[in-house]
Amino acid sequence: MMFVWGLKRSGNHLLANWLYANAGGAVKRDLDTDGLHPLLFQGFCDPDASVAYFNNSGFLNSRNFDLGDLTTSDFELAASTRSLTIFGIEDCRLEFISRAPSGPDVVDLVLLRDPLNNIASRLEGAKSKPEVFRTDEAYVDLYASYCAEALGESRVFERKVVVNFNRFVEERSYRDSIAASLELANLDLVDEATDFGGSSSFSPGTGASSVEALMSRFQEHPIPDHLLDLLCARPVIRDACIELFGYDLTTRLGAL
């Protein structure tokens, strides 16, 4: 099993599609959800490759940053008939790792996009779905917790692979290294995402946004001052900007 823990508008569906293809998924059939928990119903599978993807496990409970009443046994049942099952966990507090399976056959991927472009993209999504793309102080705290895990300041997961979205879309060699750490061949299919999350970066029929466009969302969609203040007030977010994304947050904001 693989779990993709990511914040909405961080490239969750891009990463999941990439994993799915690298695991042999060539077609996308409807999931057979008979007998499964009703919070596990979106996604697709390739019966011949014995691989499946469950999108946004917990569904609308992600609005409250939780998983609803999903339990370890629910995930295990959903994964029991395939060689590999990928579960997407979006906008979820990391404490809910206790509800997901663990062990040598489970890999947790922690996906993080830089805060300026993540929040700018969420603000754009919130224009039509404000209840889905929260950008309040509680969200900034959630983002900070993912930064802490990515930097190793917290150690919630037993077996963790951190995926830096910015590097993922910029560097083929980085994607190669992620695939190698998962013992997968990198077919490098990075131009498709589902419409599950209202993705604007990678959408069927339109092709991939340029790397330059992905890295400049915050210039296209300015972030309100109160949100910038919340980001700057959290040292772990400032540290993540420097160590993971290569810029000083306060310096970048001063240049805007």
Round the average pLDDT of the chain to a whole number and report it: 91
Res 131 pLDDT > 80: yes
30-39, 214-223, 227-236: least confident range: 214-223
Tokens of 88: 């997407």
| Confidence grade of residue 195 (pLDDT, cut at 50, 70, 90) | very low
Mean pLDDT of 140-168: 96
Give pLDDT, residue 218. Answer: 84
Q: What percent of the chain stands above pLDDT 90?
A: 83
**What amino acid occupies position 67?**
L
To the nearest 10°, the Cα dihedral for 42, 83, 110, 96?
A: 70
| Confidence grade of residue 194 (pLDDT, cut at 50, 70, 90) | very low
Write the CA distances from 245 to 14, 33, 111, 183, integer angstroms: 19, 39, 13, 26
120-129, 160-169, 194-203: least confident range: 194-203
| Confidence grade of residue 221 (pLDDT, cut at 50, 70, 90) | confident
Rounded Cα gap, residues 122 and 198, in angstroms: 10
What are the structural domains, with CATH classification, of the chain? 2-187+211-223 (3.40.50)
| Of the candidates 255, 12, 1, the residue with the CA atom closest to the CA atom of residue 133 | 12
Res 18 pLDDT > 60: yes
28-32, 176-180, 192-196, 221-225: least confident range: 192-196
Res 239 pLDDT > 60: yes
Q: Are strands 202-203 and 207-208 parallel, antiparallel or unpaired?
A: antiparallel
